[in-house]
Structure 1
Amino acid sequence: MKKHGVLVVVGLVVAVTGWFSLPLLASIPELKLSTARGDVSRGAYLARASGCIACHTDVKGGGAPLAGGAPLKTEFGTFYPPNLTTDVQNGIGGWTLEQFAIALRHGVSPSGDPYYPAFPYEFYAGLSDQDITDLWVAFQTVPPVAQTSTEHQLGFPFNLRRSLYLWQAMFLDERLFAAEPDKDERYNRGKFLVESAAHCAACHSPRNLLGALDSGALYTGGASALEQEGNIPPITAKALTEAGWNELDLGYALKTGVKADGDVFGGSMAEVVREGTAYLQQQDRNAIAYYLFNRDD
């Protein structure tokens, strides 16, 4: 019995030590961006393309821009997109550019807490220094709103935020976006928008039990992470063609929300179009369509 007691104590010590050592898994480098000046217009455009406005603004509830989005109800619990205005107490007004970059690329807050992957930093990790600087200066033009961000409502064990360090160590790929040198400009622009900024795989790909993307089945569709939304359709070239889409129809749908069969997008895709892709230049919507129809599935 005495031996068993010692083993239990040792096990508890190991478990506690491991739990408090999880932050050591976060390999956050000292970050110094290579850009000296940002472009506000380009940053505002990228914020639309990246879904920042759609997610962090409660449009239906009449909320101020970027002051906090509508709740996202998922099987893991309910997530509340936080305030991203320049308010110092409630938003990002007290952040530095480097802290903003670490949040986007590494999923870690200025206080050192890991973010839940409901915030798609696994895709924003591909953004360049210039992209991040442009986004930053654009966010600096947003008026401050003194609206407190609502805490996420998550049950056990998903409320154990420290465990996200382990999730990030297992699943987060922090590689910058890289153009394919043997492909043309339209293809690579579409690739950037689909794979990084617009993070299409976040919804149109299946995920495992821990909420990580199934990298071997990207864009093949799957159950929506949002409650009561059902299944998200595949957007591989083969699936799109079989569903009656072509590049022209898809580019048009990303502007208007009207699908190839004359129906309209519903659910979260309707929001993506209304608050995001409808604001893109036609050449960018066409580049998205071109990439999806020409990428190697």
Structure 2
Amino acid sequence: MKTAGKIAGAAVVLCGAGLAAFWLLTLPEKLGAEEAAALDTGDAARGERVFYAAGCASCHARPKAEGDAALQLAGGVELKTPFGTFVAPNISSDPADGIGAWSAEDFGNAVLKGVSPDGEHYYPAFPYTSYARMEIGDVADLYAFIKTLPPVQGKAANHQLGFPYNIRRGLGLWKRLYMSSEAVIALDDAAPEPVKRGRYLVEGPGHCGECHTPRDAIGGSDKSRWLAGAVAAEGEGKVPNITPGEGGIGDWSESDIAYMLETGFLPDFDSVGGTMAAVQRNMAKLPAEDRAAIAAYLKAVPPHPNGY
């Protein structure tokens, strides 16, 4: 009996140690004081450019909203995935149902760290794994711009997730595996400035890798096949390879890419469709030099065969 008691006691101690380790390893990480202070210096005029680069309206406007209605960020777009259905929240300036009561620091923690004002992890359907590479000044500008948009009443529906995906705390471990502020593609210091700017736009606010890069069984991006194309998050259809590799856009010129981002027309005179149509409409609102920079970067990334 004494031996059994010792074994039981050891099991309790080990279980407790495991729970304590889990708790510590999954703690939400927030911005430091210096970064948080920098978020109060945003400029709304500059933030409009960041807003379109980041594609905020694509998910947070009401489904199929166009024109001025696309600036009413009521949420409601559903993303149906093998993990469950994620619903984009209201991020309008409404203080009760949107983010109107958030501080700049709250906003920065959400975008750069994937952490809510209540200290919970956000699900990575919100592409903070890409936004983590954004410059703090751009996040400050984006916050300033969103505050100028109209408040919209009404909360979006809750996510529909089963066990174990409804346990947010576990995302702390997932973030340790897949979240980084480091660039995906290393560039020499001597790389042309348009390529560097394009890397920032594609890997950061543009979050192109979230759709165009294959994912593993627990939803993490396979960066060894960066932008190689993937099965769509909803599990149906394919997102194209946008590297210069086989099956990709190797035969597109930089001007072909920039023109597609501006007009939606492909080199073969077809046009983009599906969710890419909304992305293209956002890209069309950027300065021409940003579209050219994206094109320069996409021609410079390592080639990969199709990733799906």
TM-score with structure 2 setting the length: 0.86
Q: Structure 1 residues 248 and 215, CA, compared in 2 at 3 Å: closer, same or farther?
A: same
In the alignment, which of 90, 93, 110 is matched to residue 83 of structure 1?
90
CA distance in 2, matches of 1:290, 1:114: 35
2:100 counterpart letter in structure 1: G
- The superposition leaves residues 49-82 of structure 1 with CA deviations (integer Å, 9 ceiling, x where unpaired) of 1111111112426866211141111111111111
Following the alignment from structure 1 to structure 2, what is the Cα–Cα distance between the partners of residues 171 and 34? 26
Given that 1:25 and 1:166 are in contact with CA atoms closer than 8 Å, whether structure 2 keeps it comes out as no
CA gap of 1:179–1:217, structure 2 versus 1, over 3 A, is: closer
1:47 aligns with 2:51: yes
CA RMSD of aligned residues (A): 2.6
* 8 A Cα contact 2:54 2:205, kept in partner: yes
Give unpaired runs (5+ residues) of structure 2.
Answer: 304-308
Assess if the C-alpha contact under 8 Å between 2:262 and 2:280 holds in 1. yes
Q: Which secondary structure state, in structure 1, belongs to the residue aligned with residue 80 of structure 2? A: strand
CA–CA distance in structure 2, aligned partners of residues 130 and 70 of structure 1: 28
Q: Which position in structure 2 is the counterpart of 1:232?
A: 239
Give 1:283's match in structure 2, choosing from 281, 289, 304.
Answer: 289
Give the direction of change, closer, same or farther, for the CA distance of 1:86–1:173 in structure 2 (3 Å limit): same
What is aligned with 2:190?
Answer: 182
1:245 is displaced (CA, Å) by 2.1
CA distance in 1, matches of 2:40, 2:62: 33
Q: Are the counterparts in 1 of residues 77 and 88 from structure 2 also a CA contact under 8 Å?
A: yes
Q: CA deviation at 1:9?
A: 4.3
Q: Does 1:255 align with 2:255?
A: no
The answer (yes or no) to whether the contact 2:133–2:180 under 8 Å persists in 1 is: no
Q: Is the 8 A contact 1:106 1:174 kept in 2?
A: no
| Match runs of 1:196-215 below 5 Å | 196-215=204-223
Cα distance per residue 1:84-121 (max 9 Å; x no partner) = 11111111111111111111111111100001111111
Q: Assess if the C-alpha contact under 8 Å between 1:203 and 1:224 holds in 2.
A: yes
User: Is the Cα contact below 8 Å between 1:236 and 1:293 reproduced in 2?
Assistant: yes
On the 8 A contact 2:61/2:74 being kept in 1, the answer is yes
Contact 1:127 1:176 in 2 (8 A): no
Partners of 1:140 and 1:125 in 2: how far apart? 21
Partner secondary structure for residue 117 of structure 1: coil
SS of the counterpart of 1:79?
A: strand
Q: 1:18 and 1:252, CA in 2 relative to 1: closer, same or farther beyond 3 A? A: same
Query: Alignment identity in percent?
Result: 39
CA distance in 1, matches of 2:56, 2:226: 22
Structure 1 SS opposite 2:36:
coil
- In structure 2, how many angstroms separate the alpha carbons of the residues matched to 1:289 and 1:56? 26
- Alignment-derived partner of residue 122 in structure 1: 129
Q: Answer yes or no: is the 8 Å Cα contact 2:28–2:121 preserved in 1.
A: no
Give yes or no for the alignment of 1:292 onto 2:298. Answer: yes
After superposing the two structures, state which structure 1 stretch, 176-185 or 116-125, moved more.
Answer: 176-185
Q: Distance in 2 between matches of 1:70 and 1:155?
A: 19
8 Å CA contact 2:30–2:115 kept in 1: the answer is: no
| Equivalent-residue separation in structure 1 for 2:113 and 2:169 (angstroms) | 15
Displacement of 1:269: 1.1
- Distance change (3 Å), C-alpha of 1:61 and 1:5: farther
Instruction: Indicate how the Cα distance of structure 1 residues 199 and 180 shifts in structure 2: closer, same or farther if over 3 A, else same.
Output: farther
| Cα displacement (A) at 1:252 | 1.3
**Corresponding letter in the other structure for 1:72:** L
Deviation at 1:295, TM superposition (A): 3.2
The aligned counterpart of 1:220 is 228
Q: Which residue does 1:273 correspond to in 2?
A: 280
The runs of 5 or more residues in structure 1 that have no matched partner are none
Amino acid at match of 2:244: A
Q: How many residues align?
A: 295
Distance of aligned partners of 1:232 and 1:66 in 2 relative to their CA distance in 1, 3 Å threshold:
same
1:252 and 1:12 mapped to 2: Cα distance? Answer: 58
- What's 1:193 paired with? 201
Equivalent residue number for residue 29 of structure 2? 26
Q: TM-score when scaled to structure 1? A: 0.89
What is the one-letter code of the residue matched to 2:138?
D
